[in-house]
Structure 1
Amino acid sequence: MSPAMEMGAESWENEDEDQISEAKYQQGVKHLCDNIGIKRLPRKYILPISERPIFKNAEKNANCTNLPIIDFAQLQGSNRSQVLKNLSKACEENGLFQLVNHGIPRDVLNSMRDVTRRFFELPYEERSQYMSADMGNLVRYGTSFNQNKDGVFTWRDFLKLTCNPLSDAIPHFPTFPLDFRTVVATYAKETKFLSIMLMEAILESLGLGCDDINNTKMEEDDILKEFQDGSHLMILNCYPSCPQPDLTLGMPPHSDYGFITLLLQDNVPGLQIEHDGNWITVEPIPNSFVVNLGDHLEIFSNGKYKSVLHRVMVNSLRSRITVASLHSLPWATTVRPWSRLINEANPKRYMDTDFTTFLAYITSCEPKKKNFLESRKLITRQ
């Protein structure tokens, strides 16, 4: 560490944190680490004891690896019916699965990870051009989980990109690194196509056992047409190494709002899901996607499939980057339980909703866990 950096770290540790401008935290974790070189966690990032990443059973959480894996190639082959059953089970019991053999070339994945890492390595002055508190911006650089509402900040910086329609969005994307727009556009096209193929399988798995196969197929086709023009939000995440990772989180427990999220990880573990009262680490499988189910899919399935509660851990040794692609119906479309899944024995369990309702909710309160989904419930399953 240079003498200047050492002085910066010392002055930070000796400075009264109550007098530190909120603007320093709003500039992001990466800026904090790069320019101050902190050796201990600032108070702004220290979670209450009850919210810290303390395991009830650390050994079980660290070593659990039997999360469902779906082979996309088999899903397209003669074994489709069995894979659909496995998919349905994963959606009901876990709200998550790891997708392998998905068909997106390895070099596309590597390029996306690489350009993400290089973006966060840019000087702060370059990244900060896109910093905004306006959640409606096509491109938005920010920090924490919801920096407008978070009382305690989480150890994360992000870049959010609206990717549909892609041709309209690309001119707003960052111009540095120089290959950023090209790499992101290629990746966005690939993940969009994959998401539609996955949604086709998920819809088919929801319709398994329906007597009226022809009508079910027609309804599936209509829904997939909407997904062609559906929302696509890409979030590039950076979790710098943290001096005291046991006191904070990269992201707090939450569920995603859309139908499905395709998460591309690097080789640094960090994602955890809640399952049977335990936090389970999702170990990265090279060149795979983690597919999270979101609140919209739980609503659409009338509670048959579950959005997954998840959080992100940080560590003291290595930074971690991920790319999340969130897919749902068009912004203006109302999401409601599929009529085919509602009957006398299984009444409608959720209110209709749309993106405007979701945006109003998260801008008016601090989102925690699955609170938004809970606010849409009509019936609590016994």
Structure 2
Amino acid sequence: MCLPNRGRDWSMEDKARVAAEIGAASRSGGYFFLRHHGIAADLLSAVYEETRRFYRLPVAEKTKYNAGERSQFLGYRGLGREKSTAHAGAEACEQYRIGNTQGSLGTPVAADFYHAPFVQGACLFKRLVDLGDRVFSACADDLGLPEADFDTSMNSPMHRLGFNHYGVGHAEEIGNTVDYAMSPHVDLSIFTILTQNESGLEVRGPEGEWICVPPVQDALFVFLGDYLQRWTNGLYVACEHRVRQVRTQRLSIQYKHRPGHDAVVSPLDRFVGEGKPARYGLFDTGGQYVSFLKSLLGSG
């Protein structure tokens, strides 16, 4: 699907069309390609090169930016650092995160320190925040919800941008025997916007099959996370996904649109009622989310 240009080119008809298309995809599989998104190809190319450059650094240089609770989980997650939720091993990739922080939580080192290796990435992050706001607005329009309904949840949003490196031989290096590099999971986010330089991402199809998501020129891939599914009581579908083992070096750039640190996500009143009991409990995107990350990475 295509987003219309920003500003005065957003006619009422454009908004209604985009909202309907995003809504239909969100109800069926929870994923879609997005064209005319406004992210310059040159900027994406620059961020890919920046990502290659970082992962070529010696391990001692990369680990200066190690992620953990003290950094609000910004920074570097080394090969095998993240535990799998599906098997006894770890994820066969290197990862790095930049993004917003919450001042009330305290950060002993400024977030700018963790952003330093990704100057172009920080520029991309700002543009993806804007794009994410536009996609979220379209979701609200489709659902017939005033955007103001989400104001308290989106106070100081903890958006994240990740740079992932999947290398040939990574699985063997950490002793994995499964046939995927990133375990099947659903993102703890509103939705994720992704670009990849090589195939590898797979999404779970309606019959339970794994569907390969190819790189598509001039398009970004969007898939829904847990929070939209929870808010809509299952009307919108969170997308289970994984990354298969790679045969060539693969890079992915993934942006996660997330609520504020103090948001508690649960089914909204309009999606619960007689004959429609709440299918999901409360999820605290602050403390509960941090506990989940600590279980994957350790406190750091």
Provide the TM-score with structure 1 as the length reference: 0.66
**C-alpha separation between the residues in 1 aligned to 2:170 and 2:66?**
25
Contact map agreement 2:77 2:95 (CA 8 A) in 1: yes
Q: Deviations over 1:182-206 (max 9, x none)?
A: 3122111100111111100011111
**C-alpha separation between the residues in 2 aligned to 1:284 and 1:334?**
34
Aligned counterpart, 2:143 = 206
Q: Which runs of 4+ in 1 moved over 4 A?
A: 132-135, 243-247, 361-366
The alpha carbon displacement at 1:342 in A equals 2.0
Unaligned runs of 5+ in 2: 104-108
Contact map agreement 1:157 1:239 (CA 8 A) in 2: yes
Contact map agreement 2:233 2:272 (CA 8 A) in 1: yes
User: Is 1:146–2:76 an aligned residue pair?
Assistant: no
Q: Aligned in 2, Cα 1:274/1:169: closer, same or farther, shift over 3 Å?
A: farther
The alpha carbon displacement at 1:243 in A equals 8.3
SS at structure 2 position matched to 1:227: coil
1:270 to 177, 196, 200: 200
2:73 to 137, 155, 178: 137
Q: Deviations over 1:182-238 (max 9, x none)?
A: 31221111001111111000111112xxxxxxxx43xx2341575362111122100
The alpha carbon displacement at 1:347 in A equals 2.4
1:104 to 23, 36, 39: 39
The alpha carbon displacement at 1:71 in A equals 0.8
1:241 to 151, 168, 176: 168
Contact map agreement 2:92 2:170 (CA 8 A) in 1: no
Identity across aligned pairs (percent)?
25
Aligned counterpart, 1:172 = 113
**C-alpha separation between the residues in 1 aligned to 2:81 and 2:283?**
22
**C-alpha separation between the residues in 1 aligned to 2:81 and 2:24?**
30
Q: Deviations over 1:151-173 (max 9, x none)?
A: 2233211112233469x964222
Moved more, 282-291 or 296-305: 282-291
**What is the count of residue pairs matched by the alignment?**
280
**C-alpha separation between the residues in 1 aligned to 2:188 and 2:196?**
20
**C-alpha separation between the residues in 1 aligned to 2:201 and 2:151?**
29
SS at structure 1 position matched to 2:239: coil
**C-alpha separation between the residues in 2 aligned to 1:359 and 1:243?**
27
The alpha carbon displacement at 1:352 in A equals 1.5
Contact map agreement 2:83 2:296 (CA 8 A) in 1: no
Contact map agreement 1:140 1:161 (CA 8 A) in 2: no
**C-alpha separation between the residues in 2 aligned to 1:272 and 1:138?**
25
Within a 5 Å distance, the mapping from 1:24-35 to structure 2 comes to none
**C-alpha separation between the residues in 2 aligned to 1:148 and 1:299?**
23
The alpha carbon displacement at 1:361 in A equals 4.3
Residue identity opposite 2:166 in structure 1? Y
Q: Aligned in 2, Cα 1:131/1:173: closer, same or farther, shift over 3 Å?
A: closer
Aligned counterpart, 2:233 = 302
Contact map agreement 1:155 1:248 (CA 8 A) in 2: no
Q: Aligned in 2, Cα 1:339/1:240: closer, same or farther, shift over 3 Å?
A: same
User: Is 1:321–2:263 an aligned residue pair?
Assistant: no
User: Is 1:283–2:197 an aligned residue pair?
Assistant: no
Q: Deviations over 1:85-124 (max 9, x none)?
A: 2211110111111111101222221111121111111122
Contact map agreement 1:102 1:288 (CA 8 A) in 2: yes
The alpha carbon displacement at 1:141 in A equals 2.7
Q: Which has the larger radius of gyration?
A: 1
2:270 to 328, 340, 344: 340
Q: Deviations over 1:315-361 (max 9, x none)?
A: 22x20001111112101111121222222132222112112223334
Query: Which structure features the higher share of helix residues?
Result: 1
Q: Deviations over 1:294-335 (max 9, x none)?
A: 00111011110111110001322x200011111121011111
**C-alpha separation between the residues in 1 aligned to 2:101 and 2:151?**
15
SS at structure 2 position matched to 1:73: coil
**C-alpha separation between the residues in 2 aligned to 1:157 and 1:258?**
20
Aligned counterpart, 1:120 = 55
Within a 5 Å distance, the mapping from 1:31-110 to structure 2 comes to 70-73=1-4, 76-77=10-11, 78-110=13-45
Contact map agreement 1:163 1:234 (CA 8 A) in 2: no
Query: Which structure features the higher share of strand residues?
Result: 2
2:126 to 172, 180, 189: 189
**Greater RCO, CA 8 A, separation 6+:** 2
**C-alpha separation between the residues in 2 aligned to 1:145 and 1:277?**
29
Moved more, 239-248 or 282-291: 239-248
The alpha carbon displacement at 1:283 in A equals 1.0
**C-alpha separation between the residues in 2 aligned to 1:346 and 1:306?**
16
Residue identity opposite 1:299 in structure 2? R
Residue identity opposite 2:229 in structure 1? E
Provide the TM-score with structure 2 as the length reference: 0.83
